[in-house]
Chain A
Amino acid sequence: MTLLNNYYESASIILFGIGLATLMLNRNLIKKIIGMNIMDTSIFLFLVAKGYITGRKAPIITTGFEGIDAYVNPIPSALILTGIVVAVSVTAFLLALTVKIYEAYGTVDLEIILNLKGDAYADNNKLPLG
């Protein structure tokens, strides 16, 4: 039962699937953003589960160095920190775009927006405002 022993990894892959499906299949933009965040978080769970070794400490030396075997590898945590920053900035950008979309189309349903081809096209031929 290797799948159950690696339950962190299994859970993160299931979460990844949920996030990816939400991101791809949901029509609502806000729900898509939530899906993206679930997907990213699942990857962070995967990395952090891979990086942790039971019984070891974070590599922050306060009382004295206890040998290499006493600490876990800090790189996965550092990667997740960077990953979180990236995910936050993408989320912020997407939310800002969603506000713009709502202002322009009056809806956040992507299906409706993508079918509204005609008037957007006519708009594009006007000159921009100075």
Chain B
Amino acid sequence: MQIITSFPLVKIFIILLSAFSMPLIHNRRHIKIISIIFLSFSLTLSLITLNYVFRNGAFYFNAGYPDTFLGIQLYIGPVETLLSSVLEFVILVVVWFSAFSIDEEIRQNRIKFFYILIHLLTASILGIIYTNDIFNGYVFIEVAALASCGIIVIKEKKENIKAATKYIIMSTIGSGLLLMGIAFIYSYTGHLNMDLIHLEILEGYDDYFKSLLIIVALYTAGLGVKSAMFPLHIWLPDAHSSAPTASSALLSGVVLKGFAYFLIKFMDRMLGFEIINQLNILPIILILGSSGMIFGSLSAIFQKNIKRLIAYSSVAQMGYIFLAIGLGSPFGAVIAVYHMMGHAVTKSALFLCSGLMIEKTGKNEISNYRGLGFEMPITFILFTLGALSMVGIPILPGFISKWYLSIESIQLGKFLLIFVILLSSLLNAVYYFPIIINGFFGIENLENRVYKSKRAPYEKLAPIIVLITAMLVLGIFSKDVLDFLITGINAL
């Protein structure tokens, strides 16, 4: 079974190779088919790897010299394989959706570039998740940032160009800080491999407390900008709301998670939670995470544009992830990863639903969606299910992560956090429920509406149904998922 251990590298390679072979093909339909074939192939390999890790445990893959620390190493543990499988699944489904919707949103000669960028994005996100080498991670992060900027600006509207400029400038600030952090840690430990850095730091971190503090601060700020930690999120609403529907789903669902997972990897694998708990950085992440949960939701309440509302909801949901990281316990990291997966599936479904609503009504203000539940029932029911998960209704993934987050904060004696979580859930309900209630109920809303008159075509609904089903599965089997993830976080 030696060949399975090379699958992660093979996946990154075939996705990159297919990306660079696309410029040779002129038929748009063929490009879409090739994209779907390669992404499903890579998802298959992911699932095989997942099965292998489930049976045999984590493994390393040396993409350079075997059995030495020279060269780049990939580490594939339970968290990595499960997270990458879920994210790849989301990417595949969004690409499936985009095959039917992208022609209406961007210019015809740009479609080729859209799929090239999506492949680059997929490969770099997989790289960020798998890599065990921090500099390699940095390069993948840069590729992901440029590619995600590309899928925003591909629409070529004034607003998109503005949003992309804002995004790339914030993102370069982040990558500058991150690269400085890498330079610091390299001059401190002399290694780029995460395991070797961990061993080196364990040896005498008492003498280097201040340098460690600077390193952690640089890392947190750098990755915080990229994954929309609360005060650094200002680029997100513009970028995610102006992009084409498929891009928004990918940016909110997948890209943010890759960066946030790199932060978890840094804390869990490189420093270890014992060391990081002695630095005074986790309380700051905790406070920023909770303020993100509250202020993201508060800003979402006042939005009139549906995509901006969902984008602000992403800020709030990233706040949960940072809150879970900030708890500073291994189980907190597990919840963060679980929330990432739940949010990836749910938020991309919500963005796709909102894309269908905008397409059918031609308007993106929420006030135009009164009675729309009657006109496009299936889309609205799917939207409702996604929104219920965001609010936190039992069985759905949003509830599971909030529940375990509360239990974990009680165990750590941080009772105040429960009120933050409750308040945030209530605020989530405040902005999601009016859309749903106005969509389905109210006599004045439903007057002159024809049942199913704006029904979305089934080929566009099918991807969303798949995503919502995946969300339900993730919620129902949450116990198994969490048990599997726990074996990954404590591995080191």
Contact = CB atoms under 8 A, between A and B. Distances in A.
Interface in B171-224: 172-173, 175-177, 179-180, 183, 186-187, 192
A24 B159 contact: no
Nearest to B244: A128
Contacts of B177: 20
A19 B172 CA distance: 11
Contacts of A121: 159
A101 B168 contact: no
A114 B165 CA distance: 10
B468 to A, nearest CB: 28
A114 B162 contact: yes
B183 A113 contact: no
A40 B157 CA distance: 30
A93 interface: yes
Interface in A81-100: 82-83, 86, 89-90, 93-94, 97-98, 100
A122 B6 CA distance: 50
Interface residues of B, number: 38
Contact of A97 (B165, B173, B175, B363): B165
Interface string B217-236: 00000000000000000000
B168 A47 contact: no
Q: Mostly helix, strand, loop or mixed at chain A's interface?
A: helix
A29 B402 CA distance: 42
B142 interface: yes
Contact of B106 (A29, A82, A125, A128): A128
A130 interface: yes
A97 B183 CA distance: 29
B45 interface: no
A7 B35 CA distance: 51
Given A47-B183, A97-B161, A124-B159, A19 B176 contact: yes
Given A23-B176, A93-B146, A124-B157, A50 B183 contact: yes
A71 B159 CA distance: 53
Interface string A21-37: 00110000100100010
Contact of A32 (B142, B159, B169, B186): B169
A101 B159 CA distance: 10
Interface residues of A, number: 42
A123 B161 CA distance: 12
Best-surrounded residue of B161, B192, B364 (most CB of chain A within 10 A): B161
Interface in A25-71: 29, 32, 36, 39-40, 43, 46-47, 50
Nearest to B141: A86
B146 A90 contact: yes
A20 B139 contact: no
Contacts of B460: none
B166 interface: yes
B108 interface: yes
Contact of A90 (B108, B142, B192): B142
Contacts of B164: 97
Interface string B102-115: 00111110000000
B149 interface: yes
Contacts of B142: 86, 89-90
Nearest to B171: A90
Contacts of A23: 169, 172-173, 176
Contact of B186 (A76, A98, A120, A124): A76
Contacts of A39: 176
A24 B176 contact: no
B173 A124 contact: no
A104 B166 CA distance: 15
B172 A36 contact: yes
A75 B192 contact: yes
B158 A43 contact: no
B135 interface: yes
B179 A24 contact: no
A79 B183 CA distance: 9
Nearest to B176: A39
A130 B168 contact: no
B242 interface: yes
Contact of A46 (B162, B180, B242): B180
A85 B179 CA distance: 13
B155 A123 contact: no
Given A83-B179, A86-B142, A123-B157, 13 more contacts: A16-B180, A20-B177, A23-B173, A36-B172, A76-B186, A89-B146, A90-B175, A94-B169, A94-B172, A97-B164, A98-B165, A101-B161, A128-B105
6 contacts: A23-B169, A90-B172, A97-B164, A101-B165, A128-B106, A130-B108
Interface of B: 104-108, 135, 138-139, 142, 146, 149, 153, 155-159, 161-162, 164-166, 168-169, 172-173, 175-177, 179-180, 183, 186-187, 192, 242, 363-364
Closest 3 CB pairs of A and B: A50-B187, A120-B159, A120-B158
Interface of A: 16, 19-20, 23-24, 29, 32, 36, 39-40, 43, 46-47, 50, 75-76, 79, 82-83, 86, 89-90, 93-94, 97-98, 100-101, 104-105, 110, 113-114, 119-121, 123-125, 128-130
